[in-house]
Structure 1
Amino acid sequence: MTDTPVKPRGRRPGGADTRGTICRAALTLFSTIGYDKVSLRAIAREADVDPALIHHYFSSKSDLFAETVLDIPLEAERLVERVLAGPREQIGRAAVAAFLEAYDGTDGGRERFTAMLRSAVAGDIVQRPLSEFMSKEVFGAIAERLGHDNFRLRAQLAVSLVLGLTLCRYILHLQTLATATDQAIIDGLGQAMQEILVEDW
């Protein structure tokens, strides 16, 4: 009779990529149910590790949130340069297109953006990382380089536009908006973004 290996019971022990496994599990939960409703035990279950391992790598839930979510997969300067490189009359459309690409086209982008937006809506301890980053480093930079003295106001108006899109399309899942093509979104919001960032007022 050949002996068959016995599968060990319980959570799997820490391994070479345990920290990465915990981070991926946390990102998934933060992006799907928000910061408040996620517990460290829930993350341990999702990652299939002993809860003690999370405390080995992270001091708290907020520490884990910062590690997994606030690492925004967005190179702001490169994005700004690309938006401003095209014709002035197309900057609004280019800005919307760049946001959609960053949201959907970067590794973990959608999950991180969604987790941050859920956190902001819930009023958690980490309330404005996404909006502050985009306001200062992306839209504010664009408006300031276009010579507008009121670039801070323009930046926050631009953020309100794209985060409103994010909320309705990816969290509330408004059906027509959720199934619209990116090109339709660019066509629909590009002129509004052009007015916010480019036109004189």
Structure 2
Amino acid sequence: MGPVPDAVLEELSEELLARGGRVWRSVTSDSMAPLLRAGDRILVEPCADRIRWGDVIVFRSPAGPTVHRVLGIRRDTVPPQIIEKGDANPFAGSIALTAVSGRVCRRDREGRSLDLNHGRGRVIQLILATLSLLALGGLLAGQAVRRLLHIERPTGIATRIAGLLRALSEGVARVLGTD
């Protein structure tokens, strides 16, 4: 018998979460750096209607399971929409609440564990969510200014602001001991 295909493992993970279980996963990209890096292990729990601003969620996307941060929840749409963004990504996206598989509740890296829902881990979540939102706001403000002034190419100011906020996120992560 050979290895179990990824699609089968993903279906089993989804089923376990739907039945109230928890699932360990490996992080495969640095889109959530500095909090989550490729190779980290994360514990995903079912969350249903308990998603909060700043939470890190796992959702189904065409590219496969994706791990991003919640920057907004629009409950006035059908179905409700989650505004999501990878902390290291420059732009945000929107997904249906029904696409959410679960919430990341713990991160293990090199033998050290961080509870993301309580205490220091939750504070780190809120700080990184705020910085991610500020970085996104800087990019959107830069786009609005370019449109207003009819500038076709980015001037780089918004990109520099986003880079500065990313560097600040890295510094905060080091100070708070997320590495």
TM-score normalised to structure 2 length: 0.32
Greater percentage in helix: 1
Greater percentage in strand: 2
TM-score normalised to structure 1 length: 0.29
Structure ranking higher on relative contact order (CA contacts 8 Å, 6+ apart): 1
